[in-house]
Structures are given as C-alpha cells and as structure tokens.
Structure 1
C-alpha cells in the first residue's frame, strides 16, 4: 500500500487479516470482517457481497442488541438517486462518506417515506462511510459502517482504514464467490441429472401401460416426494368438462381429504391462475400461494386446509397430446420448503408432454377395445339376426307352400282356406319387410312426417281394435282407459298408429293366455302420456337398458313362439323421437309384467282434419289400355288379372325390349314397369318411352323391389310419374292407376290437369 499507516491502523489490518484467514465459511468471513471494524470504525455496520445470483447482507452492532435486531431484516437495494446523493458504494462503485448527519439528512434520504424515516431515526446514527470491494477491477461488494450513540464522526483516516480492510478482504471474497459459483454449478448439474433421470424413468414407465388409472399413479409416484410435495391431475371428460382424477401426497389421509375438497370446489375457468383457466388456455403457469390467493377459495374448509398444509408454491402444466387438451398437471410445494424455478418448469412441462401422450394412448386403446367389443357384439347380433330372420321367413313360407297344394283340389272350401292362409302369411311377410325398411329409412334420416292434429284417444281405440284377433285367441282381458275429452297432439297419424300397434302387439305377444293388457291415456302440464301395461313375462334387469335397440330380444325357446325381428320397439322409439316425444320401459323383472309409456307435447286446440277428396273411380276409366312389363310371370299374371277385373284392357311383356315393341302397337294409356329386368332395365325403358312421340304422353308407374330414396330419385329422373315399392297393396294400386289414367286422358284432350 502506498499510503502511510499509524500503529493503530496497522494493528486493525493485522487483526482483520488474522480473522479472514481463520474464516471457514462465507458467513464466518462476513461476521469476522465486521468484527474487525467494530467499534474502531463504527458502532454498527453492513457487509454486502454480490455472489452473482444475489446480494447477501450481513449486519452487526457492537454491544447493542436492539440496533442489531433492527438491522437484520434489512436487504440491500440498488441506489440510483436523481439528487446525486451517494449512499452505497456497491451501487456507485466509489466511497460514500457522510460525517455530519442530522434529521434534515434523514428526511432527504427518506423522501416522504414515513416508514423509512422512522427506521432511520430509530437507528440514530450521525455519521456513515461506505467503501467498495473490488477484485481484478470487478465490483464485488461494499462495507458500510455507522457511528451511532457513541457520537463519533468519521474522518479521512477512518475512510482510508475502511478501504484498506475492504481491499484486504476482496481476494478472500473472490474466492468465496468462485466457490459459491462452483457449488451452484455442481448443484445445477446434479439437479439437471436428476431431472434427466426422472424424464427417462417417466418415458420408460409410462410406455409400459395403456391403463389410465395406472398411468396417473405412475406420474404421481415419480413426482412425490422426490420433486414435489403434492400432485393433482385433472382430466377432461367426453363432454369437455374437467374434473379431479387424482390427488397424491405421502400422507394418504391428507390426500383423500384434499381430493374430497377439490371435487367439491373448483375455481372458474375465467379466473387466471385456476386449473380450469390452465386447461382452457393450454398454457403452463407458475405462482406463489399467498394469503390473498387463499382468500379467493370460497370453500372455507378447503381454504383452511391449504393454510394448514403450508402450501406456498404452485406450478400448473396443461396436458396436451396430438393437439387435444386432456387436462392439467398441478404440483405444489409445502412442507419441504422447496421452490420452483425455470428449470423445474421446463422439466415438468416435458413430463406433462410425456404424461399427456401416455394418457392419450390409454384413451385411444380404451376406445379401440370398446370398438372391438362393439364389433364383436354386432357380429354376434348379426349372426343371431340372420338366424332369426331365416326362421321368421320360413315360418310363413311353409303354410304358403302348403296352401298352394290345396289349390290343386277341386273343393271350393279348400280354395277358400288356401286363399285365407296365403293372405295371412303374405301380410305377415309384408310386416317383416316393412319393419326392415323402416329401420333402414330411420338410419338414413329418410322418414318424413305428415303432421296434422291427431286425436290420440280415437287413435288408441283404433290400435286396440287392430289387435283384437290376438286378444281373442289368447283370451286376454283388455282394458282401455281414456279421458272424457279428446286429447290432441300434432303428429303423423299413420306413424303414431304404427307405434301404438307395435306396443299393443308386443303386450299381447308376451302375455300368457288369461293375462291382462291395459292401455291408458292422460294429459297433464301440456304433455300427453300414453301407457301400455301387461301382466306378461316382464323384462330382465340386464335387458331393460337395451330394450329399444334394434334386433334386441329376450331369450326365447327354439320354437320362437313369440316370433318377430326385435325391431318394433326400436322403430317406436325413433318415431316418437321424431314427434318431439320420449318413450320409456319399466318392469319389476321377469314374470312381473312390463309397462311402456310415451310422452308427447299436447296440442292445445285442434281443428278436425279435412275430409279427403274422393279419388277417381277405376270404373270411370272405361276401356282404358294398361301395359304390364315385368320379368316375373307370377307378377304379370296376377297384376293383369286384377286390372282386367276392373275393366281395363291389359297386355303383358316379359322384358323392356318386348314391352316397347308391344307399346308401339298397343298404344297404352298407362304402363306398369319393373326396374330390374334383362336386356333393358326399367330406367332405360322410361327414357325411350318419353322420347317416343307416340308413347310420350302415356303414364308410367315404376313397380319395383328397389325402394331407397336414390332409387326413387332415379325413377323420377328417368321419366316415371310414380314409384311403388313391392309388395303393393292392390286397392292403392288400382286407385293410383285410375287417377293417372284420368290425368293422361285430360292431358291428351288438352284439358287442364291438377299438379301431381
């Protein structure tokens, strides 16, 4: 050193050097430096050291515990003042000396901060000096000393000695800084290694399970207690609603208690920092748990629990996989005292990505398993249905074949019996086919309703009349409970009658002889409830939830005495739903009967439906000419016979080419034409028909087994006036033929015709 030193000065430096050399740690070094300065250079003081990541302050007072108690909570703060006042050498880099301090100085330093002013007055110092610590040109700290109740003032010698002590200590502080940096680097490397090991373990363990609960437990076990004190995972359900899936802590009892509270109370997704906010925005967030945060919890028990547990730090990570947010991972620090940093956030975000992928894989696997089970159930249902369909089709075919042999007998009684048998069995076959077609139409959304006011009481009475043969055959007791006044709904009369008939047929079918079937109708609160109850075989509890599914039936004996395809209730549910209503099934179990209820919106007032205008009479057509084109000889023969019975002149053709040839000579008023025929199909026939100048004005009706909406559209495009699906009701066919012939004649005569 270039300056000259007094003996006291040298003694102080020697003492400081000895204390520095004997210091085993940074804390001891800082305390020893202050000890060497007190009371020679001050009554109390600070020793502030910049360790690179933070400035650490050590405060001491000489034989004044009250002053030392005031100093210890203080923290270093960078000083930049616009009045040029130098208060801290660590801020300015040059010594700061204030030997004459009074209350005006206090007020100037405090600048209106009353708390700061009170603290300065409480310390009651009259002089201060702050000298910088430098090593290799780098500012590493500052030594600040105060003269208090001793009343002394700092002079030039005191400043010089303080600076010499700072220069003496600076190399030791540099070593401390290097050691601290080395320790931080070692801890960071160890922490990074632990994080990498955790992520590697997570990748390995999470890849080994495709079960959601197992995946959740694995995530929690990897984190608690090695990394965090608490782990909570929320998942989003199929409806997009988040809920608690797991809460984990070392203490299982505490975890169960916290989970119960978490399920009971959730902060809104509009509250920043909430779990639902994290899920909605798919962004990680880190925050401290403060008393202010706890006060936002509206469940007082939950708030008290968080307070008791001492939760102080939180981190929330969204679980996002394949662009879909599955939920959120919430981790908390409590009893360990640990804090989250940027490295923790990065690691937990990466862990969240792995967890989300594992959870999504588990979800997809569960969906694939369910799809496989559904496919297996569908395959079994298909096999069962095909076997059932074969049985149901053979049942009516057998009596038909038998009845045909009766027609070979000469007795009129045998012919009448054959006609009755064939009629009944054909109606049965038609119902089976109609049910299959209805299911197809409903599945394709092709069912349209002709809505009008319908009196349900009258309709229920009609449906009950329909099932009277079954009622008589099984000697059932049949009760009809109707209100005194009509009850109207807005609906399709035909379709509603179909629903009611299905329910009544079912009730009769599954009720033993001598049982009771009850149909009731009531209205209340703007709704109509129609119920069909029976005392029959009932519905097994396992079957009840599936009773409205297509092809579902209870177990039947091999004889299948009840018959049917298991479609009636499925059709009924779909038609009721189309009417804005609902249908339900109730049963106390097998052998205890069943009850089906339909609820529909009631129509407040309904005008009686207008009477239908009478259709044109077939007889009025006179000797009109009709051509039948069909590759089935049976169809040609039977249809021709029916038409001739109405007075029409009829010709028949076995295919489209023959049909066009006959038509040019016969010049029919109308043709009934099949679609699927050899040589020329029905669509080709219609196109050539319409392009022919002689035939073009005649009527064309497609009579075919192709009944889908696309088939009907193709028929219209080809030129057919109407499309009928086999089997065709004879009376409906004759009415349509008479109507269309009348329109054709009016068109040929130039008279105006009604729009089709």
Structure 2
C-alpha cells in the first residue's frame, strides 16, 4: 500500500531550496542513511531544476510504500510538469555523454536512486518517479508509527537559503567521510581477496605435490612391495580427500552467500550429530596426538536441524581446533542446556586468536596470519560457513580467546526442540532395511562409462572390473549413445560436460532406447548446483554423483538399483 506524505509546487529557484529541504526531512524521518539521503536529494533537486528551466512550473509529491512480497519499504517521489516534454529514447541509458563525462539532470539522476521511471512525449509534459529503498537493517515502519511521522512532517518548517547552504556543506562533509570509510573497506576487502587467491594456490599445490611425488615414487620403484603400495595409496587417498573438502567448502560458501542452500530440517538427537562429527574428524585429531575431552549430556537433547549441514558445522569447528593446536594438545567439547537453548562449545589450548582479529574471525577469507612461516594453512572460509549455516538454522556462534598462545573457544547456540515434537519423530527411519537377494547381486552388472577424461574413465573402469562388473567405455556423447545400443548396459555413468552433445542429451537418448529404457543412469559431474541437479532429473538421470566419484557410493547405487 502507498501512503501520500506531502506535496509542494515547484515555481522558481526559491522553491528548489524548499524541495531540497523537504526531501532531506523525509529521508531523515524515514530512516535513510547519509549516502542514501544525499543521493535522493541530489536526484530530486536535479529533476526539479529541469522543471523550472524547461517547463516553468510543476509539482512534487512524496509517498511512502509499505513492504510486500515483491518490494521493500521505500520513499517514492513523483515530479510532474506540463512543459514541452521530450523523447526518452534520446537520453543515454547509462547517464554518460559521448565524451565519457557524467550527466546530471534526468540521465544522471537515474544512476542515483533504486528505481527510476520516466513518462514523457513531445508536447505532453513529463512525469518522473524516483524510488529509494529503506535499508534492511532499519526497523519496519508500521501503520501505527506512520501517522505521527506524517504529522511531524506537516509541522516542520522549511529552512532559509542560508540554512540550506550550511546544511548542504555539512552533508557534503559527512558524505565525503563515509566515502573514505567505504573506500578503505573496499581496499581491505581487495587485500583479503589477493591473500585468499595466494593461499588457494598454496592449498591446492600442497596435496597435488604430495600426490605427484607419490606417483613418481611408484614409477621409479621397480620392486615396490605391497606395503609400499598401501602406504603411498593411503597418502594419495588422504590428499585427495583434502582436495575434495577444499573444493566442497568453496562451493558451499558460494551457495550460502547466494542463498542457494535449502536445508532438509528435521528433529535430530544432538549426541548423534556430535558422534558423527567426531567420527569424521577422528583422523585429523589423532594425527596430531591430541587428547579429546567429551562428556555427552546426561539428558536427551533434540534440535531441529539439517543432519548433514549441522554435522558439517561441528566438523569444521573440530577440524579448526585440531589444525591450530600444536601436537599433543587438548580439545574439549561441552554441551550445556540453557533454558530453551543448548550451547555446544569446542575449546582448545592451541595458538589462540589476537584481540584485534576476534571481530573478524567469521569474515569471508579472513586469516589471522598469512605469513609463509605460520604453522598451518587454511582458506578462511570454514568459520564463515559455520556462522552462515547456523543463521539458516536459527542459531548463532560466538568466539572467545584470551589471546595468542592461550587457545580459543567456539560456542554454538541452538534452540532446543520441545519434548513433544521430538517424541513424534519416527525412531525407525534410520534403521537400514534388510538386503534382498536381488540387491545383493551387485557383481556382474553391465556398466557403460561415458567420460571425455580418458584417465578418469580408465581408472574407474579398473575399480569396477575388480569388483566383478563388465565395463565398457566411450569418450564422447555420440560414441556413448552408439555403444549403449550395442552393449545394452543396465548401468550408465555419464559425465555432464561432454564435448559435442552434453550429458543431459546423452541421457535422454539412452533413456529413449528400448534396451536401456530401464537402466540406472548416474550423472557424474563437477557441476553441483541445484539447477544442474534439477536438469539432470528432468533429463532422466536416477542419481547424481559429484566428482571425484566415491567408488563406495557408486557401488551402493549399483547394488540397490
């Protein structure tokens, strides 16, 4: 709903002073910040000046719009005249002249506001509508608050020209200071970005270097023993897992930042989540010989959470504790009930956090120390993920540290689920059904791999053949469709990013063949967005696997097809 605030005539230069003053009053009373207010005043005064110069007289009306599903609360200003009009198509859309200089007037004002609308034609006058949105941090103005604000506006006196000039000077100084602060923030953000890119290169090269060295060692060691293969194989597996976790964190923080993560929230027992997180991080904790101190709560505590994402929150905190604590350190987990919420704290006696860094711990790409000699590495995205995933859950996280060398404590707060809601949760959903005889017959499946990465296809083929399957390969989409006709596989694993026809079209064509209409189609891709998964479902895929393929997960898919 739109509410009329006030109106005024635009007749001469003196009226321009009143227009500026009224715009300032409206912006101030309805919660625009300094920069928003200055932008709106500038845009309104430029359009009003055009009215005086080209039409002689006109009118200005201020409105306030309520929030709805399509738009936030906003101040709307409508300026109209009965002058000669104009052709809007003749104006440059970007507000710049041919020589690159910024225009004011209509073309320049368009750049200053959140929404701009121009209605005009030669001989029919001009109407300009400007819109400035209230900030999301501002409290919503309800109807009860609106009437007193309108009354205050009606009783406010206009400033004299001298007072207006003094006010403009004050606003200019405030705006310049705000611009300086924002420039400083942008420069710091740019520095963090550069540090992040350098650290990303370092984090990627470390495991790649270890993997490359292990492979080179196997190539040179002609009489490698079974123990050598096991040791180097474990090394490659660990480094591959590290790379996978790194890429997954990058993708997750991108999705969370863009609001692309949907939580599958359900009642879940908190101790189950902690146990799973401890199982996931067991290797990182024991590798540095840390002592773990954890006492499960005496009572059952249920929360409403996405099982996978909340385990990720706890795992990230435990990984951080293990990583930034020197060998033979101590990691403590405590769970305490505080009325209607639960606090889960993860504390360590590690390197601690400097007081100047504490306010920025959860900032994206923030790093306490990016020097080459620091003890350990990281991208500075894990804690950002923790905070943003918790916000999606309706929870929060805080950090405490007495300083460098004195350890740190991260405390997660979540609302506790009411006992009656938890009691309605089916307890048998996690019980695995008994395997049927036909599900146990995993060996002997006819599997077609379609992937343009020949090395990846060869290695996956060897793993599947070692498990007893009959496997064929194709390295283009067209070849894959042809082989499917001859081979008649009951499982087809298809890379999405194929040359020529892509994996989606390949899936559609294979699904359309009588011999493979009921085959299990598995998408294998580095593309992990929800939109790509939906396209896969629409194309006929039964399952969607993220690269690198987890062989155990693929085997399970084949087993229960």
**RMSD (Å), alpha carbons:** 3.7
- Report how far residue 694 of structure 1 moved: 4.1
Judged with a 3 Å threshold, the aligned counterparts in structure 2 of structure 1 residues 362 and 737 are, in CA distance, closer, same or farther, namely farther
Q: Deviations over 1:397-444 (max 9, x none)?
A: 111111112333332222111111101111111110111111012122
Give a deviation string over 1:567-614, Cα, whole Å, max 9, x none: 111111112111111111112222222111111111232343523443
Match of 2:190 among 373, 379, 385: 379
Please identify the structure whose Cα radius of gyration is greater.
1
Does 1:671 pair with 2:482?
no
Deviation at 1:727, TM superposition (A): 1.6
Tell me what 2:124 maps to: none
* 1:310-709 equivalence runs, <5 A: 348=159, 350=161, 365-366=176-177, 368-408=179-219, 409=221, 410=223, 411-605=225-419, 606-607=422-423, 608=427, 610-614=429-433, 619-621=440-442, 623-709=444-530
Change (3 A) 1:666 1:566: same
- Output aligned runs, 1:196-215, within 5 Å: none
Seen in structure 2, the aligned counterparts of structure 1 residues 652 and 363 have a Cα distance that, compared at 3 Å, is: farther
Give, in whole Å, the separation in 1 of the partners of 2:250 and 2:556.
26
Distance 1:391 1:618 in 2: 44
Deviates more, 1:461-470 or 1:350-359: 350-359
* Superimposed CA distance per residue, residues 346-368 of structure 1 (whole angstroms, 9 cap, x where no aligned partner): 98355566566556655654554
What is aligned with 1:27?
Answer: none
How far apart, CA to CA, are the structure 1 residues paired with 2:159 and 2:279? 72
Unaligned runs of 5+ in 2: 1-12, 19-24, 35-74, 78-129, 135-155
**Partner secondary structure for residue 377 of structure 1:** helix
Would the aligned equivalents of 1:476 and 1:516 in 2 still touch at CA under 8 Å?
Answer: yes
Question: Aligned partners of 1:538, 1:237: CA distance in 2, in Å?
Answer: 45
Report the TM-score when normalising by structure 2. Answer: 0.67
Note the 1:26-425 alignment, pairs <5 A.
236=28, 239=31, 348=159, 350=161, 365-366=176-177, 368-408=179-219, 409=221, 410=223, 411-425=225-239
* Secondary structure of residue in 1 paired with 2:344: strand
Distance apart, 1:641 and its partner CA: 2.1
Quote the offset at 1:545 in angstroms. 0.8
Given the superposition, is the C-alpha separation of residues 467 and 350 from structure 1 closer, same or farther in structure 2, using an over 3 Å criterion? same
Distance (whole Å) between structure 2 residues aligned to residue 375 and residue 449 of structure 1? 32
Report if the CA contact (8 A) 2:76-2:131 is conserved: no
| Post-superposition offset of 1:687 | 3.1
Which residue pairs with 2:108 in the alignment?
A: none
Question: Which structure is richer in relative contact order (CA contacts within 8 A, separation 6 or more)?
Answer: 2
C-alpha distance in structure 2 between counterparts of 1:645 and 1:325, whole Å: 63
Deviates more, 1:403-412 or 1:692-701: 692-701
Aligned to 1:727: 548
Q: Is the 8 A contact 1:618 1:646 kept in 2?
A: no
- SS in structure 2 opposite 1:348? coil
Residue aligning to 2:48: none
The structure-2 alpha-carbon separation of the partners of 1:455 and 1:561, relative to structure 1 and needing over 3 Å to count, comes to same
Change (3 A) 1:722 1:353: farther
Shift of 1:239: 4.9
TM superposition shift of 1:665:
0.8
Distance 2:249 2:188 in 1: 22
SS state of the match for residue 441, structure 2? helix
Structure 2 CA distance for partners of 1:712 and 1:522, relative to 1, 3 Å: same
How far apart are 1:548 and its partner, in Å?
0.7
The answer as to whether partners of 1:576 and 1:582 remain within 8 angstroms in 2 is yes
Distance of 2:469 and 2:404 partners within structure 1: 57
Q: Secondary structure at the match of 2:560?
A: helix
Partner residue in 1 for 2:3: none
User: 1:153-177: per-residue Cα shift (whole Å, max 9, x none)?
Assistant: xxxxxxxxxxxxxxxxxxxxxxxxx
- Relative distance call for 1:497 and 1:631 in structure 2 (3 A) is same
The answer as to 2:531 corresponding to 1:717 is: no
Contact 2:442 2:558 in 1 (8 A): no
Instruction: Write the distance in 2 (CA, Å) between the matches of 1:239 and 1:732.
Output: 54
Indicate conservation of the 8 Å contact 1:629/1:671, yes or no. Answer: yes
Displacement after TM superposition at 1:729 (Å): 1.8
Distance 2:269 2:501 in 1: 49
Residues 337-384 of structure 1: per-residue CA shift (max 9 Å, x gap): xxxxxxxx9983555665665566556545544443333223212211
The separation in 1 between residues aligned to 2:184 and 2:388, in whole angstroms, is 25
Deviations 1:132-157 (A, max 9, x none): xxxxxxxxxxxxxxxxxxxxxxxxxx
> Structure 1 residues 610, 407: closer, same or farther in 2, change over 3 A?
same
